[in-house]
Structure 1
Amino acid sequence: MKAAIVTIGDEILIGQIVDTNSAFIAKALDDIGFQIVEMISISDTEKAISETMNRYQNQVDLVVMTGGLGPTKDDVTKKTFCSYFNDVLISDSEVLKHVTALIEDFYKRKITQMNIDQALVPSKATVLFNKVGTAPGMLMKHEQTFFVSLPGVPYEMKYLVSEVLIPYLEQSFEPSYNIHQTLITHGVGESLLAERIADWENDLPSYVHLAYLPSPRMVKLRLSISGKDKVFLEDAIREQVEKLLPLIKDCLIGLNENETIFKVVSDLLKENNLTIACAESCTGGQIAKLLNEIPGASAYFQGGVVAYATQSKIDVLGVSENTINKNSVVSEQVALEMALGAKRLFKSDLAIATTGNAGPSKGDSDVEVGTVCLALVSKFGEKTFTFNFGQPREKVIDSAVNKAFEIIREEIIKNNS
């Protein structure tokens, strides 16, 4: 089963809003076995919409379009559907009743002709009733292709997809399955990881597909397989995962699509009844934010200090002015005293600290731009590190944060295994 997703609206094309609808629709369709062959955004014009419908006709089984169903004159999707299907608009009594109640009873204002026109739908359409908004969805079929039109308002689209469209499609199409297994690795670059698993990858069956999904200091390996025999598909994926695991066991942090190094560290801290604090300079509070945003953080996160200015490192964290003058504010010695200060202030089991030149220009240190020093202190000892993460500034900060969590993870695993 093949599907295409189309978002309609000039506001997307000019970058005024970010299209999140496509991702939601794609995930929902993938879950019931559709292969998404394309996602595109088009202008809210009859010409663009009709040309897109012609393009996909009989090339895919399903086209889901979102946007262009509002009450204003620039929303022309319903009119275009009528032209494409040689149909006319009629008023749907159930939709009109719902729109009237919403406007007059909920919003407490008189209904207008523009609101009444929201109940107009092509006479041949299957109406997708929208309980959470005024614009109904529409479903129509021409030859081998279903065309679906949904409102662009995200919460309305999500309701219609989850509660109306997906159940309809599950009844209309023969069951099919897309099975994915994502393995999360950390601390090994994409090219090195590819070299390590090359022989395994070369032996993959043609029906199992591998994708590398890299991000700063993390690479996801996604295995995918599609078909109608769910048991066979699951067994095939499981077999390949079992062969892959020994090759990446030292850098594997999880088998969950949503697993992150931050969640892994959070779990390790809780499992081992450890508390942590942080002292940050160049990372500007990002470590504290990530420690804090995971539910249950109060069990392990004691607090943090963003000591960005040199003087604040001295006044708040107790870093020695002599240490700064002797070694530079970006140094392992200063990072260590920052970590010790945080551990002392918050009475934590562990403390992590960062100081560096994220760029683009040098601050109070002459060290090379991109240099970051980290320190970790715990009851097991003191560790310091120096890295150069290059440029741009955003890369330096992201890399430093990820490296900090990697260091914390390794420390806990090493001393609590």
Structure 2
Amino acid sequence: MNASIITIGDELLIGQTIDTNSAFIAQEFNKVGIWVKRRVAVGDVAADIEHALDEEAQQSQIIILTGGLGPTADDITKPLLNHYFNGKMVIDPGVAKHIEYLFREVYRRPGPISERNKKQAEVPDVAKVLHNANGSAPGMWFEKMINNRKTVFIALPGVPHEMKGLLSDEVIPRLLQHFKFPHILHRTAVTAGMGESYVAERLIDFEAKLPKQIKLAYLPSYGMVKLRLTCQGTHIRKMEEETDLLFEEMTFLLQDILLSKKDEPVEAVIGHLLLQQGKTMATAESCTGGNIAHAITRIPGSSKYYRGSIVSYDNTIKEALLQVPAGILQAQGAVSSETVEAMVKGALQQLGTDYAVATSGIMGPDGGSDRKPVGTVWIAAGNEEKIVTRLLQLRFEREQNIEIATIQALLLLRKVILGKE
């Protein structure tokens, strides 16, 4: 059973808005056995949207659209769908009542509700209305016979929290009632410290013997490679047994570079380690500007092991708050092994933690020199007994350099915690 996702809006095409809706829909569909075959983005142009509907209906039995359901003139999806399915616009009493409730009780807007907002209650009479508990634009469900099969078209708002609520509360339960889906099973491992091609070399024999219903995917990122085994079938118990055995074999072959047997970021792995040991950590950041702290605190429950950060972007802050000796800054410079080592010591003392990690570097696009070019970054991690430093020579743009330095600093901290450095 294939699905297509059509995202609508000029803002997506010009890069003003990042499409997170497609990723969420694909993940949720995958959980219930719906395979997303294609994702298409189109602008606010009626002919383009209609063309996308025609094209995707030849590919998939489920077509889901997001965007263009708002109250403004550029929101053309609803009238277009009314025309596409030969419907007539009517006021839905349930939607009208919900809009009244939102503006009076939730938004508490003074004065009368505008005609533009009241018009949100208009829907094509050929659509089943899907209740949007989080907003005024209802979802809509259409059905049409195409190539002798029932094809479902579902229109959802583009606002992410509204779309998510509708997908979880309305769309997926209805799809499960209408169709019988196969099972899709994933097992993901995360490795660190070895490039994708080298990891693949290790798994040549393993990959060659995989049964046809199980596929291996390589998903590289900065300093890490995810390996995902995917199995499709109808007998879930048999699928789990077969996939789990192969997953254990694969992770055994990669045990020296294995970061996690789950699809999780390195900051989550560090959190598990610190909780197991009953230890705490802090961050002392210069060039990463708090990005490591942000990564750590994205993990629920991080307050149990993370104390805080000192973002010492300026040298005066390094001296005053982290107690980095002025002599080191003058002789070695802020971007040096000696400075990040002193930053770790200062963070351990000032924030009273068991571990600390530090960064200092030149992220670009300028600020480098012949001796320390743009992309020169020193990272350090350690505790009271031992501090390890490492030099990175990065070659990307500023944002990428910050992200890579963040991940490498966290990977170094993990090794320190495990006693592997």
TM-score, normalised via structure 2 length: 0.88
Contact 1:253 1:260 in 2 (8 A): no
Q: CA deviation at 1:404?
A: 2.0
Aligned partners of 1:311 and 1:73: how far apart in 2? 53
Asked whether 1:280 is paired with 2:285, we answer yes
Q: Go from structure 1 to structure 2 and tell me whether the alpha carbon gap of 1:135 and 1:301 turns closer, same or farther (over 3 Å shift).
A: closer
Q: Go from structure 1 to structure 2 and tell me whether the alpha carbon gap of 1:309 and 1:58 turns closer, same or farther (over 3 Å shift).
A: closer
Letter in 1 for 2:9: G
Q: CA deviation at 1:264?
A: 1.3
- Map of 1:381 onto structure 2: 386
Q: CA deviation at 1:66?
A: 1.7
Q: Go from structure 1 to structure 2 and tell me whether the alpha carbon gap of 1:380 and 1:148 turns closer, same or farther (over 3 Å shift).
A: same
Letter in 2 for 1:219: V
- Map of 1:141 onto structure 2: 143
Q: Deviations over 1:286-307 (max 9, x none)?
A: 3333344434444433443333
- Map of 2:25 onto structure 1: 25
Q: CA deviation at 1:136?
A: 2.3
- Map of 2:410 onto structure 1: 405
Contact 2:282 2:353 in 1 (8 A): yes
Correspondence for 1:391 among 383, 386, 396: 396
Bigger CA drift: 64-73 or 314-323?
Answer: 314-323
Aligned residues: 415
Q: CA deviation at 1:325?
A: 4.6
- Map of 1:339 onto structure 2: 344
Q: CA deviation at 1:169?
A: 0.6
- Map of 1:55 onto structure 2: 55
Root-mean-square deviation (CA, aligned residues, Å) is 2.7
Aligned partners of 1:308 and 1:96: how far apart in 2? 53
Aligned partners of 1:398 and 1:122: how far apart in 2? 47
What is the DSSP-based 3-state SS (H/G/I as helix, E as strand, rest coil) of the residue aligned with 2:184? strand
Q: CA deviation at 1:127?
A: 2.1
Give the gaps of 5 or more residues in structure 2.
Answer: none
Q: Deviations over 1:210-269 (max 9, x none)?
A: 222222112111111222222232223212202101111122222222x11111112212
Aligned partners of 1:322 and 1:112: how far apart in 2? 67
What is the DSSP-based 3-state SS (H/G/I as helix, E as strand, rest coil) of the residue aligned with 1:408? helix
Contact 1:380 1:415 in 2 (8 A): no
Q: CA deviation at 1:37?
A: 1.0
Aligned partners of 1:111 and 1:313: how far apart in 2? 55
Aligned partners of 1:322 and 1:105: how far apart in 2? 63
| Structure number with bigger Rg | 1
TM-score, normalised via structure 1 length: 0.89
Q: Go from structure 1 to structure 2 and tell me whether the alpha carbon gap of 1:102 and 1:287 turns closer, same or farther (over 3 Å shift).
A: closer
Aligned partners of 2:280 and 2:103: how far apart in 1? 53
Asked whether 1:215 is paired with 2:217, we answer no
Letter in 1 for 2:140: M
Correspondence for 1:253 among 259, 282, 290: 259
- Map of 1:75 onto structure 2: 75
What is the DSSP-based 3-state SS (H/G/I as helix, E as strand, rest coil) of the residue aligned with 2:381? strand
Asked whether 1:158 is paired with 2:164, we answer yes
Aligned partners of 1:357 and 1:67: how far apart in 2? 41
Matches within 5 A, 1:87-166: 87-103=87-103, 107=109, 109-143=111-145, 144=149, 145-166=151-172
Q: Percent identity?
A: 38
Q: CA deviation at 1:173?
A: 0.2
Aligned partners of 2:101 and 2:232: how far apart in 1? 45
Q: Go from structure 1 to structure 2 and tell me whether the alpha carbon gap of 1:169 and 1:375 turns closer, same or farther (over 3 Å shift).
A: closer
Aligned partners of 2:102 and 2:367: how far apart in 1? 59
Contact 1:32 1:177 in 2 (8 A): yes
Contact 2:382 2:416 in 1 (8 A): no
Q: CA deviation at 1:328?
A: 4.2
Asked whether 1:228 is paired with 2:234, we answer yes
Aligned partners of 2:394 and 2:236: how far apart in 1? 44
Q: CA deviation at 1:363?
A: 5.4
Aligned partners of 1:374 and 1:191: how far apart in 2? 26
What is the DSSP-based 3-state SS (H/G/I as helix, E as strand, rest coil) of the residue aligned with 2:419? helix
Bigger CA drift: 259-268 or 13-22?
Answer: 13-22
- Map of 1:11 onto structure 2: 11
What is the DSSP-based 3-state SS (H/G/I as helix, E as strand, rest coil) of the residue aligned with 1:264? helix
What is the DSSP-based 3-state SS (H/G/I as helix, E as strand, rest coil) of the residue aligned with 2:322? coil
Aligned partners of 2:239 and 2:75: how far apart in 1? 43
Q: Go from structure 1 to structure 2 and tell me whether the alpha carbon gap of 1:204 and 1:130 turns closer, same or farther (over 3 Å shift).
A: same
Letter in 2 for 1:344: Q
